[in-house]
């Protein structure tokens, strides 16, 4: 195993958490890190949060009692809301939209069905994540 393989091993083999269980207690309130999102055994997305955050920044956020980094990013993904969340847009375009029936598309276009709620339900029913802190 290479050095890089060892460094990213938690994203492949670490504890797996279901979005259906959000909020997940294992995710720290304040942390910079990297995460991988899975649909069963298929890796579908890798992201990061808190890039450039220093130890001092993280300590300040903790002392302020504010959530920062991984928690906020994964919470945004768990919500299913597309606004401001590229992952949710990706899920909508490539995973949810192709599975919708004509009736569902019509209901969404007529605002009888929330597309964001359909996306959230898909995320909660099908997707899991693994993460690792980077600082």
- Mean pLDDT per block of 10 residues along the chain (135 residues) reads 83 98 98 98 97 95 96 99 98 98 98 99 99 90
CB of 115 closer than 8 Å to CB of 92: yes
* 94: three-class secondary structure by DSSP: helix
Cα 25 to its chain centre, rounded Å, is 15
Cα Rg for the chain, rounded, in angstroms? Answer: 16
Q: Give the pLDDT confidence score for residue 135 in this predicted structure.
A: 67
Give the domain range for residue 83.
3-133
Nearest to 81 by CA among 117, 44, 42: 117
Give the total number of structural domains in the chain.
Answer: 1
Q: Which residue has the tokens 């504890």?
A: 15
The pTM assigned to this predicted structure is 0.94
């Amino acid at each position: 195993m290479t050095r890089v393989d060892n460094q990213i091993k938690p994203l492949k083999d670490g504890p797996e958490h279901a979005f259906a269980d959000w909020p997940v207690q294992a995710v720290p309130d304040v942390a910079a890190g990297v995460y991988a999102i899975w649909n069963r055994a298929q890796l579908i997305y890798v992201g990061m949060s808190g890039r450039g955050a220093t130890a001092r920044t993280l300590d300040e956020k903790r002392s302020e009692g504010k959530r920062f980094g991984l928690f906020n990013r994964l919470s945004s993904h768990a919500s299913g809301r597309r606004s401001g969340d590229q992952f949710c847009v990706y899920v909508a375009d490539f995973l949810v939209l192709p599975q919708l029936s004509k009736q569902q598309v019509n209901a969404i276009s007529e605002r009888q069905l929330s597309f964001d709620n359909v996306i959230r339900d898909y995320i909660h029913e099908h997707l899991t994540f693994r993460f690792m802190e980077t600082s």
